[in-house]
Amino acid sequence: MTALITLSHGSRHPRALAGITALTRAAAARLGVPGYAAHLEFNAPDLPTLAAELADAGHTHAIVVPLLFTRGFHHTHDVPRAVTAAGAHLNVQLAPGLGTGADLAHLLATQDPDLLYSVGSSDPAATAAMHALAVNVAERIDKPCRMVFATKGGADVVKRCPGAKVAPVFVTHGLLLDALPTAVAPLGTRLAPLVADRYLQVQSQGAVCVPS
């Protein structure tokens, strides 16, 4: 049975790890497979360490789903490096990340937001993808919806818009999410169907993206 491994960025927030664990368990339960969480930084285990542990426990195959919304630096550099290292221990298949597509737009639209609040990126393509996501959500809810970025003064924008409905584009709790004037919940286990879908995309293709 091919295990699910979620790969998060990692966070110093004390509640972040529990959120990733809950999401991983929910997605694995939907799939009926073992589920494990690894992290790029801040939290343990990292992906190569987890892969070694799973191999020692008798696993031979795993599909890795990055818990990342855009193809910024972490997705294009850190993830492939971690997956390559993990391939020394397991037959590792890399699935698409969460992305900013129709399924995420649908999920966010259920919150009827005025503002979307995400971390932000120095990568222009990642920024453009997030703005396109806001346009997609706006079309679904038939009203304006704007993307603001935590690393570009997004919390201040939210403060200047009292009463605005804010939907965070955050997988789990984070220090930047805590910067908002009013507490809002991350997407958390609501992302389980998306994680399961990314796993199934690779399973159905049977394509090994990073050979062991």
Residue 145 has pLDDT above 80, yes or no: yes
Predicted pLDDT at 53 = 99
Calculate the alpha carbon distances from 104 to 98, 109, 135, 184 in Å.
8, 8, 12, 17
Question: pTM to 2 decimals?
Answer: 0.94
176 and 195 in a single domain? The answer is no
Which amino acid is it at 161?
C
92 and 195 in a single domain? The answer is yes
Confidence of residue 212 (pLDDT cuts 50, 70, 90): very low
Predicted pLDDT at 206 = 64
49 and 123 in a single domain? The answer is no
Separation of alpha carbons 61 and 3, rounded Å: 6
In a domain, 123, yes or no: yes
Predicted pLDDT at 210 = 40
Confidence of residue 155 (pLDDT cuts 50, 70, 90): very high
Query: What is the share, in percent, of the chain residues with pLDDT greater than 90?
Result: 92
What range does the domain containing 175 cover? Answer: 102-188
* 3-state SS track over the chain: CCEEEEEECCCCCCCHHHHHHHHHHHHHHHHCCCEEEEECCCCCCCHHHHHHHHHHCCCCEEEEEECCCCCCHHHHHHHHHHHHHHCCCCEEEECCCCCCCHHHHHHHHCCCCCEEEECCCCCHHHHHHHHHHHHHHHHHHCCCCEEEEHHHCHHHHHHCCCCCCEEECCCCCCHHHHCCCCCCCCCHHHHHHHHHHHHHHHHHHCCCCECC
70-128 pLDDT, tens digit per residue, is 988 888 999 999 999 999 999 999 999 999 999 999 999 999 999 999 999 999 999 99
Residue 211 has pLDDT above 60, yes or no: no
In a domain, 55, yes or no: yes
127 and 200 in a single domain? The answer is no
In a domain, 93, yes or no: yes
In a domain, 159, yes or no: yes
In a domain, 57, yes or no: yes
Q: How many domains does the chain have?
A: 2
How confident is the model over 149-154, as a mean pLDDT?
Answer: 97
Confidence of residue 135 (pLDDT cuts 50, 70, 90): very high
Nearest CA among 176, 131, 173 for reference residue 150: 176
43-52 pLDDT, tens digit per residue, is 999 999 999 9
Predicted pLDDT at 208 = 42
Residue 207 has pLDDT above 50, yes or no: no
Nearest CA among 178, 115, 179, 120 for reference residue 152: 120
In a domain, 212, yes or no: no
Average pLDDT, the chain: 95
CATH number, domain of 61, equals 3.40.50.1400
40 and 71 in a single domain? The answer is yes
